[in-house]
Structure 1
């Protein structure tokens, strides 16, 4: 079926992708809500200390899934079916390698890792429990991310969305059952989270059972170029998630010095709402990716740019709506996670929500541009944007603004960083466009 470059096609892919991406983001949000009720502020702090490892695992899955599935779409549009099968096979090889690493980390290093992340005597046991089981479930998270990307790029965005949403809803239900009726505490929370991708994968198997898949395992030796293609194209997706984890570690360290465990718990509320927000922007960008990659592979660059315009417009509209909702409901959002009614937690979190999410319009543009560059195999500008918003700009800003303005500076870090990255992204896009136009004039 030939794809059409119209708004209806854009909405079909992005709407389903956003719903599915929201489902994945709710893994941690559901944990945050139920842990805050069942384990109090210390449980919320423990979760926030452990969550960076989820970013690393999810980022690894997205790197492999987005990288391989993007190349798969390009191969499909060029009628290179064997190469599409080879890239899928190599994605599974990478999944095995990274899964072994994370499982080994859980089996042999969860306690020292929990201490290194900042857990103290009050939170060490809960942090270790969450980390240990999170790492053991890493293979399920990684495979789920890969299968979701391939099924979506193989013409079944609806099934991909259904799998993600049902996986997320099962997490919410299991969280409640394990934490309250079964009184399993924080172990119940991570058990529910770990079972969710397994449920999602079981639904995705329908793509194979109904024989709709056009990708298969391909026998043969490991070929380094295919591994490199996957990692190069998918790297920005890893950086987006990895940076979130590293930034959370740095923020936790700075906040512990400024406001203690209550400050970390307040940041945990904001950070977990941010998971949902980032999921919306990522869902829009990932939904467009199969379209931009297919048009690019077919040599229809104008249609790829049209999809980019739709994506940026949708992100900006969503950012305005989301900021209005977050500001309007900031007291209620905080109260939902403040089961022990700490006044200091309420005040810090409300202020944080209103300042932190000034970053929304810039965040949407940056995520969209980064994934757009990756989807048309322009790795360098994609890397630059991902690294700037993930490491190069945000880490110096964190120490500078925290030292200058304390907790207010903490909340300002993201808006300032995302704004600067957006300006850089606009420059890179214009430079890339001008380069293409010069090249086309030479060959006219």
Structure 2
């Protein structure tokens, strides 16, 4: 059942937030399930080298997801505010322009990476052992992102259009397609790492198809405009600039994941070799769970906050943010407990805990449990500033999570305390950012 504009203005906040949050969380968990299942198949079908190769390749690919988050969040906030003011055509322009510009940007980067995939994976830190398998994965996963950009932006738009359940089922369908094809291509057909990449790419095609069919023929308010019509491109530069300003912290948030993977790969290779990269790669299959829970809270609150902000009901805006922050803190404790108490089974489904990589991963999980609460809190808080178009604080706090705190943590802590410094670098960075956000909230609590 679609959520109407009247409900956005009048329904109880807790009820409305649940109607957005649970479908969004279900879809996000489906994404995480795909990631973990893909890793299980790669780990059991190919081994630790396969897990390490996938982790190496995904560091730059996270930037594609970041682009989708930036344009998706930016266009959805802009469209929500336009709809609240009754300007439907401007809302449609934001959505149409974000999708076309996103596709063109991804096409350019994919073309550049295709020119020399071997050099790309070498830059990412691949050893001689990992270069071949990393290149094979890269060249078959890249085409999928030409389609996934439509799904990543479109899922935001579906929620703004009042259809969060369809967004969830679109994500679930992608997950099922990926899981089924992963098994078939890796095991019965014996395609190895190439099969894992092809399975993921084909699942992206399915997700894009669902989104485009809905937005071209069934959307309530936000059907795509005809891109051939010059009127569809009115104000394009200003609109895209506005979307990027609003959503850039979403891209920076994904950049934190990419930076974590890149720096973690470099440091574990330096201190622990290929086995360390395999262990870190295993953990990186689970970190998206933490990120996506936080992102689900931010995206679940965004349509309510943006619409009521555009409508001028600031009391409902503040009430929604309080619900989101409480949900973030509770979710963080749950995720931290799962990392701490479930470290053995979480490792064993990928690699034997008796293996070198498995043993390293088991010892690292407790340190990563420390980052869950501040990590999710930070994402939810930054999402609030995005939702009301407060560009400066959302960018500042995103930068704190990344280059300001994360890079020094990864570079200095291992030097000071050894391998443990690698594992706690993310938690230290997120905790310092959370302190800064709390100080900002305290100063501007009115």
TM-score by length of 2: 0.93
Match in the other structure for 1:224 = 237
**2:298 touches 2:383 (CA, 8 Å); kept in 1?**
yes
Match in the other structure for 1:373 = 385
The 2-side partners of 1:29 and 1:390 are apart by: 24
Match in the other structure for 1:327 = 340
Match of 1:152 among 124, 146, 159: 159
Runs of 4+ in 1 over 4 A off after TM superposition: none
Match in the other structure for 1:43 = 50
Residues 38-117 of structure 1: pairs in structure 2 closer than 5 A:
38-117=45-124
The 1-side partners of 2:297 and 2:146 are apart by: 26
Please state whether the residue corresponding to 1:215 is helix, strand or coil: coil
Match in the other structure for 2:435 = 423
Shift of 1:151: 1.0
1:314 equivalent in alignment to 2:327: yes
Match in the other structure for 1:294 = 307
Match in the other structure for 2:129 = 122
Shift of 1:86: 1.7
Shift of 1:291: 0.7
Match in the other structure for 2:419 = 407
**1:154 touches 1:214 (CA, 8 Å); kept in 2?**
yes
Deviations 1:322-346 (A, max 9, x none): 222222211111111115x643323
Shift of 1:240: 0.7
**2:52 touches 2:278 (CA, 8 Å); kept in 1?**
yes
**1:84 touches 1:215 (CA, 8 Å); kept in 2?**
no
Shift of 1:23: 2.0
Match in the other structure for 1:386 = 398
Match in the other structure for 2:292 = 279
User: How many residues align structurally?
Assistant: 433
TM-score by length of 1: 0.94
Deviations 1:35-70 (A, max 9, x none): 101111111111111111221111111111111111
The 1-side partners of 2:214 and 2:150 are apart by: 15
**1:262 touches 1:345 (CA, 8 Å); kept in 2?**
yes
Match in the other structure for 2:189 = 182
The 2-side partners of 1:240 and 1:220 are apart by: 29
Match in the other structure for 1:441 = none
The 2-side partners of 1:159 and 1:314 are apart by: 23
Match in the other structure for 2:23 = 16
Shift of 1:74: 0.8
Cα pair distance change 1:37/1:364, threshold 3 Å: same
Residues 194-213 of structure 1: pairs in structure 2 closer than 5 A:
194-204=201-211, 205-206=213-214, 208-213=216-221
The 1-side partners of 2:80 and 2:357 are apart by: 47
Shift of 1:138: 1.6
Shift of 1:276: 1.5
**1:102 touches 1:136 (CA, 8 Å); kept in 2?**
no
The 2-side partners of 1:432 and 1:129 are apart by: 51
Q: Which runs of 5+ in 2 are unaligned?
A: 226-230
Please state whether the residue corresponding to 1:219 is helix, strand or coil: helix
Match in the other structure for 1:247 = 260
Match in the other structure for 2:228 = none
